[in-house]
Amino acid sequence: MYKLVVVDLDNTLLDEEHKISCKNIDMIEKIRAQDIEVIIATGRMYSSAQPYLEELSLKNRVIVYNGAMVKDILSGQILYHKPIEEEVARKLIEDLKSEGLHINLYQDDRLYVDQDNRYKRRYERITGIKAVHVDNLIDFDFENPTKLLIIEDDPAQHKYYIEYLKKKYSDIIDVTESKNYFIEIGAKGVNKGNTLDHLMNERGLKREEVIAIGDGLNDIEMISLAGTGIAMGNAHRLVKKASDVIAPSHQEDGVAVILEKLIMS
């Protein structure tokens, strides 16, 4: 019997317009009525995820920043936080800025940038978050940011910088992708799977009691950990390969459809 369902937001629970369908909302309510906990696990900041948590009437815990933080929704208390060390972050920023890349820095649930460009504006539009502009991230007075993110549209450049970061900094950071133009940087060991594993151990849950649903490369660890790992129909091929079940796409209410089949039936 399932006791926990963990669901990604973007391109999983959310459609192309970044909205939750009525069918998905209704299914989440039905599952919770059966005493099955639902946890959102997203790469987003807490403030960006919060409107969806309210829409779903969730008051438990949420995994944000790809697992770097767990927050209690009702109290706002941070239950777990594993940021990037300041020295590491500054080294990365100096390196990446010398390459002319756009960088997002996240600290205290605020987004900081030093470039007002199409990347910044698109990110604000997707997430509903207004970035705080600073003169230069290298000189910015920050401490242990929760996450760094590079936005790079060019597929060849995107691939190059992922490989570059993994090769040069593999001992101090973890690198993943949530979209094909986002390069997500977290502290070493940070991913949704490791954080989910911690929560499962805390609650004494077995793998077979857990469902995890996602679409992006940043969802692979949690999908592999769960007893039933589900990839969306629109998921990256490697996510599908790591999963046990393929759901319809996020444009076809895939979350509701697959949970109806696995739980309600």
Give the span between the Cα atoms of 239 and 219, in whole angstroms: 7
pLDDT, residue 197, reads 98
pLDDT, residue 97, reads 94
- Burial, 141: exposed, middle or buried (Cβ in 10 Å; 0-12, 13-18, 19+)? exposed
> Residues of the chain whose pLDDT is less than 70?
none
Sheet with 69-72, side-by-side order of all strands: 78-81, 69-72, 61-64, 37-41, 4-7, 210-214, 228-231, 245-246
Give the span between the Cα atoms of 257 and 265, in whole angstroms: 11
Q: Which tokens go with 140?
A: 């910015």
Domain at 4-81+191-264: CATH code: 3.40.50.1000
How many separate helices (H) and strands (E) can be counted in the chain? 9, 14
- Burial, 198: exposed, middle or buried (Cβ in 10 Å; 0-12, 13-18, 19+)? middle
pLDDT, residue 167, reads 95
Give the span between the Cα atoms of 174 and 171, in whole angstroms: 8
pLDDT, residue 265, reads 81
CB 213 within 8 A of CB 261: no
Any idea how long the chain is? 265
Domain ranges of the chain: 4-81+191-264, 86-187
Domain at 86-187: CATH code: 3.30.1240.10
DSSP 13: I
- The C-alpha torsion from 49 through 50 and 51 to 56, rounded to 10°, is 90
